[in-house]
Amino acid sequence: MDQNTITLRPWRETDLENLLKYANNANIATNLTNGFPHPYPREKGEEMIAKVTKADQPNILAITINDEFIGSIGLHFQQDIFFRNAELGYWVAEPFWGRGIATSAIKQITAYGFEHWPHLDRVFARPFGSNIGSQRALEKAGFLLEARLKGTIYKNDRVEDELIYAARRG
């Protein structure tokens, strides 16, 4: 098997140790909502695994190389009048950054979303203004910048712009 094949697959209970090893990283948490804590406690990891292994058609998948868990990517379906939209959330373990992994994972989960949820029309992501790596990955995956909201984010004592990138069905 190609050593660099990036595959998305359902999470497994055995992903817990890699999750705890890689998620406990301030460089990851600093670019995410406060729902992803730093330090990242074992209980949070156990809670996450219990949640993501439940669904028959999972909306949150493990990013893997050679079946090894190295990150997570998920589609978060919106409610009410926004039900045709899903927000993308993702992170890649720091030792694997800069190898095109997020770009590939974003492409794969977007195709997966449009294939399995026929009502889904738009997949969007909201990187912080300073998160150039995430913006590049989205652009390389074919997402378009739809908006830049000034200073809407407050994270770790800093104010950030909120960028909105999206991909549409077909």
Ligand X SMILES: CC(C)(COP(=O)(O)OP(=O)(O)OC[C@H]1O[C@@H](n2cnc3c(N)ncnc32)[C@H](O)[C@@H]1OP(=O)(O)O)[C@@H](O)C(=O)NCCC(=O)NCCS
Nearer to ligand X, 46 or 87 (CB): 87
Partnered with residue 123 across adjacent β-strands are 86, 167
Q: Quick check: 7 binds ligand X (CB under 6 A)? A: no
Q: Write the DSSP assignment of 84-137 as a string of letters.
A: TEEEEEEEE-GGGTTSSHHHHHHHHHHHHHHHH-TT--EEEE--BTT-HHHHHH
One character per residue 30-59, x = contact with ligand X (rule: CB under 6 A) = -xx---------------------------
CB of 7 to ligand X, least distance (A): 14
If we measure between CA atoms, which residue out of 129, 55, 127, 49 comes closest to residue 91? 127
Token pair for residue 73?
């990517």
Q: Quick check: 148 binds ligand X (CB under 6 A)? A: no
Q: Half-sphere exposure (CA, 13 Å, Cβ side) for 157?
A: 0
CB of 33 to ligand X, least distance (A): 9
Question: How many residues make contact with ligand X (CB under 6 A)?
Answer: 21
Nearer to ligand X, 32 or 49 (CB): 32
Residues in region 109-128 near ligand X by CB under 6 A: 125, 127
- Single out the residue of 12, 44, 107, 136 in contact with ligand X (rule: CB under 6 A): 136
Q: How far is Cα 51 from Cα 42, in angstroms, rounded to an integer? A: 14
CB of 8 within 8 A of CB of 73? yes
Helix (H, G, I), strand (E, B) or coil at 69: strand
Residues in region 54-113 near ligand X by CB under 6 A: 90-92, 97-103
- Single out the residue of 60, 64, 131, 160 in contact with ligand X (rule: CB under 6 A): 131
Nearer to ligand X, 9 or 99 (CB): 99
Which residues of this chain interact with ligand X, rule CB under 6 A? Answer: 28, 31-32, 90-92, 97-103, 125, 127, 131-134, 136-137
